[in-house]
Amino acid sequence: MDERLFGTNGVRGVINQDLSAQLSMDLGKAIGTCMKGNVAIGNDPRTSADMIKSAVAAGIMSSGANVIDLGMVPTPVVQHYVKSNGIAGGVMITASHNPPEFNGIKCIDADGTEMPRQKEEEIERSYYKKSFSNMSWDQVGSMYPRSGAIDAYLSSIIKLVDVQAIKNAELKVVLDCANGASTVSSPRLLKDLGVRAITLNGNPMGTFPGHPSEPTEDHLKDLIATVKETGADLGIAHDGDADRTIFIDNKGHYLYGDKSLAIVASEMVKENNGGTVVTPVSSSNCVEDVVTAEGGKIVYTKVGAPVVSRKMIEIGAVFGGEENGGLIFPKHQYCRDGAMTAAKMLEIVSKQGPLSDLVEKLPRYSQDKRKTVCPNDLKNSVLSYLVKQYEKEEVNTIDGVKICYSDGWTLVRPSGTEPLFRIYSEAKTELEAKERSDECEKVLAEAIRKYLK
């Protein structure tokens, strides 16, 4: 790993290659030194979870802080515990949707949000300089196992949805826990909501034997088939640490996250008689269309859940989220929450009818996604060139360069880890989206050739 440890979702790597016990313990020392107080810790069921959690916890305790061990829980459970109990912060041991050989260390701020970059930088400085608070033998911290975090978390969710309406609908649901952290929470949630649930991959296993933990369409074939075979009202799929939810409608169709984001955003604006929804620049126009139709307003941010949640706090937004199934409900907590998302969608379907009908009412857009190689040292110059080439259009530079048209957009974002640009285009038809990407790719190629000389 280089001088920057934290990526967009914590420190991640392959176990005993990128992420070792020694690195984890030293990072724990830095976390304890910087957080200066009790730290909650949880983990998903990866096979390396005990090793990494023990190392991080040992480092935190050596700095004099106590560790509150919540056990195997979803990421939003740790966030909810931190927010609700007034402690210094939290750590989640997870690599979310990455393959089982990976694990990660994600830091949580005192308000339950994902840690902002400036605080991560403070931890990184402590880590690299080895400037740790190494306490004497009689001042080191202790570890305290804590039960009840899941109960409090689920109680918070249940208070925010119409439980009676869900029970009256007598819904049948297929739930795919991906052998991940949701196995200890989502089945209980569905039971409390009076939903008849058929559960797939409901036992926690760190090798993810049912399917890889990323809830893509290819990985959810069993879920899709079971929804069709059983005539279920919908399918629910979580990723490994259960901060995201993807849905299958009653006809067995996979819903990309922009559709569930739009459906829930429309409902949240309606419930609040307006208000602002925050989402990254990469989100589909269908989200803005439904929000404005209900009298709401949309605010765009850089890509990343921490950026979205902090903008929501800043402006008092009623809802926010990303197109990957990570939705944020401010009355519950300012972070992506898979179980809250599932509960809200169950309420919406209970009151408004089949999920397939709700999808059918959404504005239709097509997307084209691709990437093109560009040397890292040319990226800024190439983006500036792109802005000049499209100066006659509305151009947004919040995150990369987004060229806005009346019926869609093209977004060019530089990869933070690879020498390439990612190109996303959206239009009313597949052909238009492809043509916009083709055109933009040509302009990028011209710029790269120019600056390579």
- Supply the residues annotated as catalytic: 96
Residues 6+ apart with CB under 8 A from 436: 368, 405, 408, 410, 425, 427
> Comparing C-alpha atoms, which of 448, 447, 439 is closest to residue 409?
439
Give the pairing of strands 276-280 and 319-321: parallel
Q: How far apart are CA 244 and CA 264, in angstroms?
A: 14
Residues 410/393, Cβ–Cβ less than 8 Å: no
Angle between helix axes 75-85 and 338-352 (nearest 10 degrees) is 100
DSSP designation for 10: B
Half-sphere exposure of 215 (CA within 13 A, CB side): 33
Read off the tokens for 15: 């176990």
Place of tokens 């949630």: 189
Give the pairing of strands 245-248 and 254-255: antiparallel
- The angle subtended at Cα 118 by Cα 91 and Cα 75, nearest 5°, is 25
Q: Is 325 helix (H, G, I), strand (E, B) or coil?
A: coil
Q: How many CB atoms lie within 10 A of CB 148?
A: 9
Place of tokens 């049912």: 210
CA distance readout (Å), 300 to 50, 384, 446: 39, 21, 29
Q: How far apart are CA 146 and CA 69, in angstroms?
A: 6
Read off the tokens for 436: 């916009």
Write out the E strands in 330-381. 333-336, 366-373
Residues 6+ apart with CB under 8 A from 38: 65, 66, 67, 68, 87, 88
